[in-house]
């Protein structure tokens, strides 16, 4: 059987680079496409080193450019596209909604329009647990009702889910879609050659922790210790980035091998294990033998008290399951920060 080709839009970013590594390991041909608006070449270079693929195709493309998107699909025999190319800072999206709607919707619409023009494609969209909002019951299954988004960023995830669903429906099986709803992706590749590279002050917890531990930030603020949870801090489902990347390989394989049960499917990608912010901080200190400077601070606006996945469907349907322990994940996150610091 000839190799299948997967286009990874946003493939030079945090999630995209890890997914590219796992796709190549599974025997796929990968085309990485990125406009480098929110990352540099560090991770792309890391992917080439990890995979030994110096010839890995890289296309510098902005998916908001319809003609460039068309040209890309004309150049390669693309069997599936995984769409990551999007802006992702929640706070910035509140301040600049037009920028977020324009970029995140236009780029996805261009991918779908091109797929349609070319007679079809398999499309995997990177959605988020943010679509569940503050759930009434945890863990959440794929049947848990979505809630109105609390930020323009979150709303672009909800809207892109609907756009893909409608497009699949209208194309009589020629376009197939999988929506993966990620919980909280953290960690880095065990090689420490690729990982998260936030620009400026990190918004997310683990990069803030590692930057504090290395001395780039003075003190971690733990936002709220008065939540109705066992230790008062928020609970999340922290999913290892390599485990999460592997879920994409299972999903792509399901699509290209014609194993889907519906033309548009949705899967949670989480561990099913809740961990509080405090538990995560303690685990980080213990496993890495470092002392973290932290203090309790007021709650952050828009934060959810507790959310974690019921990941049963991904296991029964795709055979995917998270396997890495939180200790392995936090060790990898620290090794990556040390690698960046040249230590």
Determine, following the binding rule CB under 6 A, whether residue 204 of this chain makes contact with ligand UD1.
yes
CB 123 within 8 A of CB 81: yes
Q: Supply φ then ψ for residue 294, to 5 degrees.
A: -140, 160
Provide CB contacts within 8 A for 177, sequence distance 6+: 122, 123, 124, 125, 164, 165, 167, 168, 263, 264, 265
CB of 92 to ligand UD1, least distance (A): 11
Question: What whole-number distance in Å separates Cα of residue 342 and Cα of residue 216?
Answer: 13
251: closest CA among 309, 141, 176? 176
Residue 9, SS3 per DSSP: strand
Question: Cα separations (Å) of 186 from 84, 152, 221, 280, 297?
Answer: 16, 23, 18, 11, 22
With CB under 6 A as the contact rule, the residue among 96, 113, 142, 303 that binds ligand UD1 is 303
CA torsion angle 225 231 237 241 (round to 10): 80
Count interface residues toward ligand UD1 (CB under 6 A): 19
Q: Which residue bears the tokens 């809740």? A: 274
CB of 208 to ligand UD1, least distance (A): 4
CB of 126 to ligand UD1, least distance (A): 10
139: closest CA among 275, 291, 307? 307
Q: Which stretch binds ligand UD1 (CB under 6 A): 14-22, 252-260, 296-304, 324-332?
A: 296-304
Determine, following the binding rule CB under 6 A, whether residue 300 of this chain makes contact with ligand UD1.
yes
CB of 117 to ligand UD1, least distance (A): 31
Q: Is 28 a catalytic residue?
A: no
With CB under 6 A as the contact rule, the residue among 184, 211, 271, 329 that binds ligand UD1 is 184
Q: Which stretch binds ligand UD1 (CB under 6 A): 7-15, 48-56, 298-306, 310-318?
A: 298-306
Name residues contacting ligand UD1, limited to 207-266 (CB under 6 A). Answer: 208, 220-223, 234, 236
Annotated catalytic residue within 28, 153, 182, 227: 153
With CB under 6 A as the contact rule, the residue among 10, 139, 152, 154 that binds ligand UD1 is 154
- State the residues that interact with ligand UD1 by CB under 6 A: 90, 128, 130, 154, 184, 203-205, 208, 220-223, 234, 236, 277, 300, 302-303
- Positions annotated as catalytic residues are 153
């Amino acid at each position: 059987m000839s190799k299948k080709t997967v286009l990874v839009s946003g493939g030079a970013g945090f999630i995209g680079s890890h997914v590219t590594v796992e796709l190549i390991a599974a025997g796929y041909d990968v085309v990485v496409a990125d406009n480098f608006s929110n990352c540099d070449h560090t991770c792309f270079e890391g992917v080439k080193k990890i995979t030994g693929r110096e010839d890995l195709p890289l296309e510098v493309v902005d998916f908001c450019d319809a003609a460039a998107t068309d040209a890309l699909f004309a150049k390669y025999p693309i069997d599936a596209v995984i769409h990551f190319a999007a802006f992702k800072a929640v706070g910035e999206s509140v301040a600049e909604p037009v920028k977020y709607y324009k970029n995140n919707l236009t780029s996805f619409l261009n991918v779908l329009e091109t797929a349609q023009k070319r007679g079809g494609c398999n499309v995997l969209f990177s959605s988020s647990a943010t679509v569940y909002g503050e759930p009434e019951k945890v863990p959440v299954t794929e049947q848990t009702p979505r809630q109105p988004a609390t930020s323009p960023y979150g709303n672009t995830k909800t809207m892109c889910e609907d756009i893909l669903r409608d497009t699949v429906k209208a194309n009589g099986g020629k376009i197939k879609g999988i929506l993966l709803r990620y919980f909280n992706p953290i960690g880095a590749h065990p090689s420490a050659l690729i990982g998260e590279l936030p620009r400026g002050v990190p918004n997310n917890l683990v990069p803030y922790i590692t930057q504090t531990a290395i001395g780039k930030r003075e003190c971690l603020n733990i936002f709220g210790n008065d939540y109705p949870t066992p230790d008062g801090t928020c609970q999340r489902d922290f999913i290892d980035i390599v485990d999460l990347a592997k879920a994409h390989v299972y999903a792509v394989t399901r699509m290209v091998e014609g194993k889907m049960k519906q033309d548009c499917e949705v899967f949670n990608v989480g561990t099913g294990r809740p961990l509080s912010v405090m538990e995560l901080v303690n685990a980080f200190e213990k496993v890495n033998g470092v002392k973290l400077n932290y203090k309790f601070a007021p709650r952050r606006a828009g934060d959810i008290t507790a959310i974690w996945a019921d990941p049963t469907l991904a296991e029964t349907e795709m055979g995917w399951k998270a396997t890495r322990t939180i200790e392995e994940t936090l060790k990898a996150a620290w090794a990556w920060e040390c690698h960046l610091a040249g230590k």
